[in-house]
Amino acid sequence: MQLSKLTMPVVLALTTVSASALAMNPQPDPNNPGGYLLSKAQVDASAQAKTSNAMYQTWANALRTADNAVVNAISPGAATNPVNVKRVERVFGQTQWQFLTQMAAPEYTYLRFLQAVGKFPAFCGDYTDGRNADAICKKSIVTAFAHFAQETGGHIAKDNISDNPLQLEEWQQALVHVREMGWSEGQPGYTTGCGQNDWQNRRWPCAAGQGYFGRGAKQLSYHFNYGAFSEAMFDGDATVLLNNPGLVADSWLNLASAIWFFLTPQAPKPAMLHVIDRTWTPSQRELDANIGYGFGTTINIINGGIECGSQNRDKGQPVNRIRYWQGLANYYNIPIETDEEDTCWQQTPYGSLNLNGATDVLYTNWEGDWAYYADRPGGYSFECKLVGYQTAYSALVAGDYEKCVTNFYQSHVGWPSVKVVADLPPPDTQPPTGGVPVWEANKVYLKGDQVEYNKQVFEAKWWTQGNTPGSSDVWLFIKNL
């Protein structure tokens, strides 16, 4: 099977290198006064050191995607289908699909379900450590359908024969809606924030006349979600779905968007798959908030702020989800472990945990590191750090760390201009004519010291380190050379 590039950098060695021990040697950019050059090797080493925990490799593996040519070749029963697609056909065949989709919109088909599965080899994929892949696959599908029944379900009582003539259980009524109720193609809805001069629009620019209302099994909404999903589906190209969001309703993307969400951690929330297959281990802070294994935690991941916590114990949405899950789990004989909870009313919603800065929780977004480094120009770190909130740069997207360091989407106000190069130029240690030494970014200068920079002589007015001549008041221009 041909696979596309991983959606996050591969961690080649799961080392325990301290990020603070890494060498960062910014050098003045000769072609950009006030700017700096960084070695790509140093930048890559910084990213790897910060993502050395084994879970980052697990996320990388989970978010691998097959080439769309492979996806388009999938068909029910085909001998050439990928391994994970064949597993789905074995544990949840077309008859079972039809049993749960008798009320579904025609855009949702078993073929498109298999294609969506085939895009993500880790969904219903193999395990090499003895875990039962078939059982995990079945549980994953049933979990997904419980949420589909809430997000896009008919919600028609079984005894309402006029609207439900087949007397289907509510957990059999998933995937009724392919577009958010009240919206249709051609309506430019859900465009809040479009056109603003901010990092979200620089990364995921809205297309004129397009609407980013809910579409598909997970009801994907808003331009920043369409853009991120498009990057995952189309080799980093956000514009495919930003320009044509209707594809999320009218193609296999209507189910792939839900599987993408199922596999993607939203730091500090884990990916739903890793709650189900127990790859994830809850931190002590999560355990203290009663967040552990079970269907209830998947509710917290999806909509914890609205549906979890004691104040939401009797609320319609979580009550429905739990009812659908229990009906499906009972019908499909899904075993429930003794440490699994179906509910989340006893859990603290993730949004209320304030886990930012916790040392036992992993994060998946990069932000500029504003810590002061006395040995670096201007005290800037020239590095990025992992944070527990959404930024312009994801640790799950290849190349985003370098973009963060170079402030590619201009999200770090006041950040120095940085360019990453394969090889740093050798430092110019030869003094120019007249014996004035070349300025060095890491050297301390005292009042009266003179340096040469860009063929000009400057004199320090007072103690300085890292302030570039010509771009700081600390330096007095003396003459041109």
Question: Using one digit for the tens of pLDDT, what is the confidence trace for 378-419?
Answer: 889 999 999 888 899 999 888 999 999 999 999 999 899 999
What is the β-pairing status of strands 418-421 and 36-39?
Answer: parallel
Mean pLDDT in residue range 93-105: 97
321-377 tens-digit pLDDT:
999 999 999 999 999 999 999 999 999 999 898 766 667 778 899 999 999 888 888
Q: How many residues does the chain have?
A: 481
Report percent pLDDT > 90 for the chain: 70
129-150 tens-digit pLDDT:
999 999 999 999 999 999 999 9
Whole-number pLDDT of residue 356: 61
Helix axes 223-233 and 253-263, enclosed angle (nearest 10): 90
Q: Quick check: 8 and 56 in contact, CB under 8 A?
A: yes
pTM: 0.84
Q: CA 67, CA 185: separation in Å to the nearest integer?
A: 28
Mean pLDDT in residue range 79-85: 98
15: Cβ contacts below 8 Å, ≥ 6 apart: 48, 49, 52
Q: Quick check: 475 and 460 in contact, CB under 8 A?
A: yes
Q: What are phi and psi of 361, to 5 degrees?
A: -130, 135
| Start-to-end C-alpha separation, the chain | 62
Fold held by 429-481: Seminal Fluid Protein  PDC-109 (Domain B) (2.10.10)
Whole-number pLDDT of residue 20: 46
Give yes or no for residue 428 having a pLDDT over 80: no
Mean pLDDT in residue range 306-313: 96
Write down the residue that tokens 């909130």 correspond to.
Answer: 389
Q: Quick check: 60 and 7 in contact, CB under 8 A?
A: yes
Nearest CA among 293, 414, 283 for reference residue 353: 283
32-72 tens-digit pLDDT:
888 999 999 999 999 999 999 988 989 988 999 999 999 99
Whole-number pLDDT of residue 16: 34
Write down the residue that tokens 């394969």 correspond to.
Answer: 422
Write down the residue that tokens 């916790």 correspond to.
Answer: 358
Position 432 confidence tier, pLDDT thresholds 50, 70, 90: low
SS3 453: strand
Domain 62-280 indexed as CATH 1.10.530.10: yes
Average pLDDT, the chain: 90
Q: Per-residue DSSP letters for 288-350?
A: HTT--SSHHHHHHHHHHHHH-SGGGTT-HHHHHHHHHHHHHHHHTT----TT--S--TTSPPG
| Active-site hit among 89, 107, 151, 180 | 151
Mean pLDDT in residue range 58-87: 95
Q: What are phi and psi of 312, to 5 degrees?
A: -110, 15
Examine the residue annotation and report whether 169 is marked as an active-site residue of this protein. Answer: no
Q: What dihedral angle (degrees, nearest 10) is formed by the CA atoms of 357, 220, 138, 339?
A: 30
Helix axes 110-119 and 83-91, enclosed angle (nearest 10): 140
Q: What are phi and psi of 49, to 5 degrees?
A: -65, -35
Whole-number pLDDT of residue 130: 94
4: Cβ contacts below 8 Å, ≥ 6 apart: 64, 65, 66, 67, 235
Write down the residue that tokens 């932000």 correspond to.
Answer: 367
Position 472 confidence tier, pLDDT thresholds 50, 70, 90: confident
Nearest CA among 442, 426, 476 for reference residue 456: 476
Whole-number pLDDT of residue 433: 53
Q: CA 228, CA 26: separation in Å to the nearest integer?
A: 31
Give yes or no for residue 4 having a pLDDT over 60: no
Q: Per-residue DSSP letters for 68-101?
A: HHHHHT--TT-TTS-HHHHHHHHHS-HHHHHHH-
Write down the residue that tokens 């749960």 correspond to.
Answer: 100
Q: What are phi and psi of 363, to 5 degrees?
A: -120, 160
Nearest CA among 407, 304, 416 for reference residue 355: 304
Position 5 confidence tier, pLDDT thresholds 50, 70, 90: very low
Nearest CA among 383, 385, 387 for reference residue 357: 387
Q: Quick check: 442 and 5 in contact, CB under 8 A?
A: no
DSSP at 377: G
Which of 15-19, 27-31, 321-325, 432-436 shows the lowest mean pLDDT across its residues? Answer: 15-19
Q: Provide the residue ranges of all domains of the chain, joining segments of one domain with +.
A: 19-53+362-421, 62-280, 429-481
- Tell me the two tokens of residue 277: 């297959």
- The strand pairing partners of 450, in sequence order, are 459
288: Cβ contacts below 8 Å, ≥ 6 apart: none
